[in-house]
Amino acid sequence: SYHSIAFGDLSLTLAFMSLAGVHFFQQEKNFFQRICPWLAFILGMVACILSGTRGAWIAVPGLFFIALIQYYRDLRFRTWMGIFIGIFLVAVILYKIPQTQISLRLQETCQEIMEYDGSHSKEGSASERLEGWKAAWNIFLEHPFLGAGPGSFKSISHQMIDRGERSEIIRIYHQPHSAYLSVMSDCGIPGLISLFAIFLVPVYVIMRQIRITPGKQDVGFSGLYLIAAFMQFGLTETIFGQNIYIGFYVVMLAVILSVCAGYGESGSESAERNPLLTK
């Protein structure tokens, strides 16, 4: 099941990163090339929906908000209204189609949350996550400054279970299914600060480059989609505890920052358009 989660998350990320290239492909005369970003976006969204990854669905509103910021000057109000109405209708249709299992997955989540009572919770992904989050939060409260140490969640959560403080449903887990609570329980406040730095420092660099070099705006927004998606995935998954997430984030971000900074361009042109290279 974990591979389907990663597949859904990365499909959604690539869908919105493709959307960032609409301006670039609009310059092409070939119709197929012009619609390539839209096709990639639609196929990525379909793949995400079919994966059944609920954590990815949570990220969709935030990513659409970034898309609104990127394209609000290019589209008229009626066009935006048409887009939002279309998205709403598609969402309703997908919800009503039994084969997508969207309605079933959402109903299961709501039922698990309503039936969650802490020490005697039933098995289910939502209740297991809630229980794991509580355990990680309690560990953080006991070790707020430096944490309990990397990899300590499993042993400490087992002690909590044995004392009757937490439910048996999390005994099989070695992490709390949240990047934020994971670093908080393992490394305390410094770990949380470091995690935010991994996200926010690139955001600062990208935003600065967008202001300095308007021609890099679309590339910069692809980086913002990437970072925003991973920040939201981290709410329900320990994203940097899995190689597939680490590799995707590091490689994609390195490429985007390299393009934004102008590496590979001619020296005089690059320095003129990107003052960061001369510092």
| Crossing angle for the helix pair 179-212 and 243-261, to the nearest 10 degrees | 10
What's the pLDDT score for residue 16?
Answer: 94
Tell me if 225 sits within 8 A of 187, measured CB to CB: no
159 neighbors 114 (Cβ within 8 angstroms):
no
Return mean pLDDT, the chain. Answer: 84
The more confident residue out of 268 and 63 is 63
Residues 177-215: tens digit of each pLDDT: 899 999 999 999 999 999 999 999 999 999 998 888 878
Question: Quick one: pLDDT at residue 277?
Answer: 45
Report the share of the chain in percent with pLDDT over 90.
33
pLDDT at 185: 93
Domain chopping of the chain, boundaries: 2-103+182-278
The whole-model pTM stands at 0.85
Contacts of residue 143, defined as CB under 8 A and 6 or more positions apart, other chains included, come to 185, 188
